[in-house]
Structure 1
Amino acid sequence: MSSTPLGEFTDSAALTLGVELELQLVSRRDFDLTRGATDLIGSLDYDGRYGEIKLEITESMIEISTQPQATVDGIAADLGGLRETLRHHSQRNNIGICGGGTHPFHRWPERRICPGERFDDLYQRYGYLAKQFTVFGQHIHVGCTSADDAIWLTQALGVYVPAFIALSASSPFVDGVDSFFQSARLNAVSAFPLSGQCPPLAGWADFVEHFSFLQACGIAQSIKDLYWDVRPKPEFGTVEIRVCDTPLTIEQAAALAALAQSLARWLLRTRPELQTAKQLHVARYNKFQACRYGMAAMISDPIALAQQPMQEILKALFETLADDARELGCEHWLKALRHGIADEAGDAAWLRAKQQEHGNLNDVVREATERLMPPPSKPSAENS
């Protein structure tokens, strides 16, 4: 383990996974966001076996996080257990819960900051941005066996940020209108001063020096101040992918975790040469393309000095990762992601289709709550 001003890097078993999902709390009356987080968390009778359920920055959101797991099947089981716990307690509190990267029509000035010193500090530091940060993402943690591997993987995964954005995009609506983006959520994240990408770093010692420089300049106080797209998480011994919108189903969340695990295995196994400095020149553009156009994005390659359609990139990526996914036992989880590439049948498209069907966003959110938490299946007649 490496001891630093950041604390020790807790070496983890290679490729272990953890998933965090930020979820929307909505009123069952009109399906607008509701201020229910403190009441919901306060009413929980839960033993923590599947992970954690906790407050987030405003009273209209919560975060669930799984236990560390070796397999995607384990992640899916934890997410299912957390969902069932929330189903029972949200019904008791008359609260609906749904996924999606943004709430389609809420008004950010109506949000209330959750109680707590950290949340209050964020509000005092960032002002209205803290309330506008009522957006909802999926974070995926991948375990690393050493601090140097974590820094290497942080940079290597940065190239694939647009792919994770396109595959998870579920935030087309903002302030009651179609934003024309597939993922509008990340525009809120980009407003924070330390958002963006990891700079070129040779290893953990370089990262410590870089972070110490930020501390000395008064820019960052802790690792949580780094809103990087991919960042190391020393206390967990992981690398954290932070660009995914919260999907509309836990199955999609598990599939994205399968992509992260398979990709990390392939990267660590093959060790492609890093071109972090060159990638930084196109990173913001490629991120915009993925947010704006999703599967239809054109991604710039600073090595080949060319652009390539996102669909072609994803098809090639899934072919590349097939053997690693098979070795990890998560190949079946990637099939759903692959199906969505050709027909662009992702969550953003589903939300737009529901808006066209209903002609209002209230019913879109209503159906989204039913999609995240479908009613428990009833026993068949012959079994009853």
Structure 2
Amino acid sequence: MHIPFSASPRTSLGIEWELELVDLQTRQLRGAATEILEEFAAKVGDQDAAKAKHELFESTIEVITGVCDSVPQALADLTGTIDVLRGLAERRGIGLMCSGTHPISEYNAQAVSVNDRYYRLVDNMQWLARRLLIFGVHVHVGVRSKDKAFPIVNALMSFIPHFLALSASSPYWLGRDTGLASSRSKIFESLPTAGLPYQLTDWPQFERFMETLVTSGTIESIREVWWDIRPHPNFGTVELRICDGLPTLQEVGAVAALAQCLVDQMNTQLDRGYTLPVPRRWVVQENKWRAARYGLDAEILVDERGNTRPVRAELADLVDDLLPVAHRLGCAAELSDIPAIMNAGASYERQRSVARRAGGDLSHVVDTLLEEMNTGRLV
């Protein structure tokens, strides 16, 4: 099976941000995506209509940037789209917010978007698909050749706990505290083609693997492989899908900067003849669990001998290491937001703090998430 890869000539950037449509009276999710998207398309015209689209449920809209050169450009792109959507939503008594899960809404109350692909997904996956009331941020970073795609995917697996701990925002599920920092990551990986990627050696092995999945009827197309990190052949990118939904533009910028800097550094290392490290899968799996459970308080494995280190310290060192790359890419300010975000607390920490002050009333958590989305910054 031949899978062409549209190589990116530079370390370009694209961001996808899955937003919740929230009734401002009930604080529950509300299915209004179709009418909002129809009005959005009429307002912005054909060229920009694709910047907002349906997701699985009618209570979700995904906002998508174009191909951007820098994190500030991508954030400006997102802002322009969200400003239009916010006005259309507010006229309907709806607010926009983002978190890995909605604190109180139930999946069985959500209408599936009118789309044959989504209908097939629900028919095939049944309960696993019906409970996918989850929201994430996906970051695409350009890769200069298909030969680099899997070395970079494999090397990026070492940083799964860093991205997940920083973005964890789904402590609540169906109105209850799960005890996890990120319940979304555990819900999503229950799909048979989601979760940690297979550590494939090169592009031909990926083509053979995809051919097996398609021939066997496991998937219809490679779009149905939802790994935490995956190559995207059409865009010529590596796509990081591990992050929970992030409430603020500042946090989106921080994880986008981290992703772009890491991939750019790896691109350069490969150009210079370096061999990128491939972590042991059992180490990655354990570290993903630790980040999902403990978030920024996780102690993650740093080698195969069982030595551990706080993920906060790992993130702080990573920011320092990548700052020269960030200055070159024009995202030093966004990368430097990571320590400030850690000091303010990841979203799961902030949500629990609000819930404690409100005596467990999670509607106050929803109000705070709506406010954070509107403000756009924590610090």
TM above 0.5: yes
Query: Which residue does the alignment assign to 1:296?
Result: 297
Query: Which residue does the alignment assign to 1:222?
Result: 221
Query: Which residue does the alignment assign to 1:378?
Result: none
**Alpha-carbon deviation of 1:285?**
1.4
Structure 2 letter corresponding to 1:43: E
Partners of 2:287 and 2:301 within 8 A in 1? yes
Query: Which residue does the alignment assign to 1:352?
Result: 352
**Alpha-carbon deviation of 1:268?**
2.1
**Alpha-carbon deviation of 1:73?**
0.8
Match of 1:40 among 24, 36, 39: 36
CA deviation string 1:79-112 (max 9, x = no partner): 1101101111111222111011100011111111
Aligned residues with identical type, % of pairs: 31
Query: Which residue does the alignment assign to 1:381?
Result: none
Distance 1:344 1:185 in 2: 22
Distance 1:237 1:130 in 2: 28
Distance 2:130 2:69 in 1: 35
Query: Which residue does the alignment assign to 1:201?
Result: 200
Greater shift, 63-72 or 322-331, is seen at 322-331
Structure 1 letter corresponding to 2:252: A
Structure 2 letter corresponding to 1:102: T
Query: Which residue does the alignment assign to 1:102?
Result: 101
CA deviation string 1:99-145 (max 9, x = no partner): 11100011111111110110111111111222211100000000111
Query: Which residue does the alignment assign to 1:30?
Result: 26
**Alpha-carbon deviation of 1:254?**
1.5
Partners of 1:17 and 1:143 within 8 A in 2? yes
CA deviation string 1:35-66 (max 9, x = no partner): 11112112222235496101100111110100
> Unaligned 5+ residue runs, structure 2?
none
Distance 1:293 1:273 in 2: 32
Query: Which residue does the alignment assign to 1:154?
Result: 153
**Alpha-carbon deviation of 1:326?**
1.3
What is the aligned length? 369
Partners of 2:319 and 2:336 within 8 A in 1? no
**Alpha-carbon deviation of 1:252?**
1.2
Closer, same or farther: CA 274–281 of 1 in aligned 2, 3 Å: farther
Q: How does 1:211-360 map to 2 (within 5 A)?
A: 211-271=210-270, 273-276=275-278, 278-341=279-342, 343=343, 345-359=345-359, 360=361
Closer, same or farther: CA 230–344 of 1 in aligned 2, 3 Å: same
Distance 2:111 2:127 in 1: 11
| 1:121 and 2:120 correspond | yes
Structure 2 letter corresponding to 1:66: T
SS at 2:242's partner residue? strand
- Cα RMSD, aligned residues only: 1.8
Greater shift, 63-72 or 307-316, is seen at 307-316
Distance 1:38 1:50 in 2: 13
Query: Which residue does the alignment assign to 2:10?
Result: 14
Partners of 1:24 and 1:60 within 8 A in 2? yes
CA deviation string 1:261-316 (max 9, x = no partner): 1111122223464453x521222211110011011112123445422221221122
Greater shift, 195-204 or 230-239, is seen at 195-204
> Unaligned 5+ residue runs, structure 1?
376-384
Structure 1 letter corresponding to 2:155: A
SS at 1:62's partner residue? strand
Partners of 2:251 and 2:341 within 8 A in 1? no
Structure 2 letter corresponding to 1:106: S
Query: Which residue does the alignment assign to 1:63?
Result: 62
Structure 1 letter corresponding to 2:30: T
SS at 1:138's partner residue? strand
Distance 1:83 1:235 in 2: 25
**Alpha-carbon deviation of 1:219?**
2.1
**Alpha-carbon deviation of 1:212?**
1.5
Q: Structure 2 length as normaliser, TM-score?
A: 0.92
SS at 2:44's partner residue? coil
Partners of 1:51 and 1:78 within 8 A in 2? no
